[in-house]
């Protein structure tokens, strides 16, 4: 085929594609746009503080266009087929939100066949969320982390992200996570508030939410149209200045490095602190160690308010103490930092753990009394380590 013929063929194919697209039903074209092949990339923005008022009973649902964890954009029109629409503001990190996840999943599974749609929206700006607020979770509220949570917990409803500008959340005004808004067929708000009155998993059955939805399905008014939600406050983007302040204060904390001998290491591993102890063995000459080390500081900041502590142990030669200290200072390692006081690493390995074959990095999670519940040689999976910590009975995801 000649160049001219090939060019004509390509133009013809393109023309046919455009014609088919133009002639497709409007709904199909809209779905094609909603399911754009280009994945959404989050870009949280700092925004000026505004007064936020919660939507009043009797108000119409504000429209929106938000990306879901399936990389599809959703608006109110996508829920037109449902008689009732529940818009639930929730998030990844909040212990109360996590406590209600099973009830949300159960509610959606039971009520969708009855004509009830559910859209969950994360209202939080990642810019306004401190590491220190993540002590009951294994992750924050970024869009990518929402994808992980939705898959991990088996969400079968749209989980939408509003963390870039929070424009939708500002219109609805969720006070806390979770905060439920229930709309009738005309998308008029008929109920707002809590899911039920009992946070602890297994103690409640979404009674308040179910009562409101059942009333609307039977054509009756909602007897209690408003309750007070409880949970973590919405993380508005104007809180970013507070986050910067907290980060700056952490970065200004002093960092020191102490030597430790075999006796000191044995005492450390017996763990009489009353806390869950995460210990990482690293060295300045170990590339993977240096790459992953900032993750341990994040983990420490997440769980330091709980019964948890991170301790670092450098396997550098004692002669390299200054170099090791410099790296720790660079990473703002304001934790207990030790350096092995001997050139004999075989004694370090022998004293440290029978699970350790000698390669670094090596990470160990130790209960009070010395029981070792997690051991990993080589670079860690941060999410795996966080789950090992937060799902341990000493820590936990709920109050």
Tens digit of each residue's pLDDT (9 = 90 or more) over 342-363:
888 888 888 877 778 899 999 9
Q: Supply the DSSP symbol for 93.
A: S
Q: What Å distances lie between residue 37 and 34, 70, 323, CA to CA? A: 9, 11, 48
Tens digit of each residue's pLDDT (9 = 90 or more) over 47-62:
999 999 999 999 999 9
**Residue 37 confidence (pLDDT):** 55
Higher-confidence position of 211 and 23: 211
The yes-or-no verdict on residue 315 having pLDDT over 70 is yes
Q: 396: phi > 0 → left, psi -120 to 50 → alpha, else beta; which? A: left
Q: Strand 258-260 to strand 336-340: parallel, antiparallel, or no bridges (unpaired)? A: parallel
Tens digit of each residue's pLDDT (9 = 90 or more) over 298-307:
999 999 999 9
Q: What is the mean pLDDT of residues 258-287?
A: 96
**Residue 140 confidence (pLDDT):** 98
**Residue 34 confidence (pLDDT):** 57
The yes-or-no verdict on residue 12 having pLDDT over 80 is no
> How far is Cα 234 from Cα 99, in angstroms, rounded to an integer?
17
392: which 2 tokens?
């341990």
> How far is Cα 54 from Cα 234, in angstroms, rounded to an integer?
12
Domain chopping of the chain, boundaries: 31-240, 253-390
Q: Which fold has domain 253-390?
A: Glutaredoxin (3.40.30)
Task: Determine contact, residues 190/184, Cβ cutoff 8 Å.
Answer: yes
For 287, counting Cβ atoms within 10 Å of its Cβ (0-12 exposed, 13-18 middle, 19+ buried), the class is exposed
Q: Given pLDDT bands bounded at 50, 70 and 90, which one contains residue 6? A: very low
Same fold, 31-240 and 253-390: yes
The CATH number fitting domain 31-240, selected from 1.10.10.10, 3.30.1330.90, 3.80.30.20, 3.40.30.10: 3.40.30.10
Confidence (pTM): 0.89
């Amino acid at each position: 085929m000649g160049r001219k013929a090939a060019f004509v063929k390509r133009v013809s194919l393109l023309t046919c594609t455009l014609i088919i697209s133009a002639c497709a039903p409007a709904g199909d074209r809209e779905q094609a746009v909603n399911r754009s092949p280009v994945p959404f990339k989050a870009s949280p923005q700092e925004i000026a503080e505004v007064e936020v008022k919660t939507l009043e009973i009797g108000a119409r649902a504000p429209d929106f266009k938000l990306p879901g964890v399936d990389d599809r954009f959703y608006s109110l029109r996508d829920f037109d087929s449902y008689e009732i629409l529940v818009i639930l503001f929730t998030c990844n990190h909040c212990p109360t939100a996590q406590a209600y996840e099973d009830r949300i999943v159960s509610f959606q599974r039971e009520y969708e066949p009855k004509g009830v749609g559910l859209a969950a929206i994360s209202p939080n700006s990642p810019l306004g969320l401190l590491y220190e607020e993540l002590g009951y979770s294994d992750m924050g509220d970024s869009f990518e982390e929402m994808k992980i949570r939705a898959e991990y917990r088996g969400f079968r409803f749209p989980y939408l992200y509003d963390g870039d500008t929070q424009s939708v959340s500002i219109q609805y005004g969720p006070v806390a996570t979770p905060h439920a808004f229930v709309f009738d067929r005309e998308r008029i708000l008929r109920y707002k508030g809590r899911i039920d009155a009992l946070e602890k998993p297994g103690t409640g059955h979404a009674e308040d939410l179910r009562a409101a939805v059942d009333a609307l399905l039977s054509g009756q008014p909602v007897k209690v149209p408003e309750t007070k939600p409880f949970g973590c406050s919405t993380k508005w983007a104007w809180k970013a200045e507070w986050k910067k302040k907290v980060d700056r204060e952490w970065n200004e904390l002093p960092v020191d490095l102490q030597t430790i001998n075999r006796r000191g290491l044995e005492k450390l591993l017996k763990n009489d602190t009353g806390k869950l102890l995460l210990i990482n063995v690293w060295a300045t000459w170990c590339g993977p160690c240096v790459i992953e080390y900032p993750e341990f500081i994040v983990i420490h900041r997440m769980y330091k308010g709980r019964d948890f502590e991170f301790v670092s142990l450098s396997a550098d030669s004692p002669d390299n103490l200054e170099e090791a200290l410099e790296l720790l200072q660079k990473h703002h390692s304001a934790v207990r930092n030790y350096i092995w006081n001997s050139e004999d690493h075989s004694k370090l390995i022998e004293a440290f753990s029978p699970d350790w074959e000698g390669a670094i990095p090596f990470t160990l999670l130790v209960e009070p009394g010395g029981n070792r519940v997690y051991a990993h040689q080589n670079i860690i999976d941060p999410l795996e380590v966080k789950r090992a910590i937060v799902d341990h009975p000493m820590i936990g995801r709920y109050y």
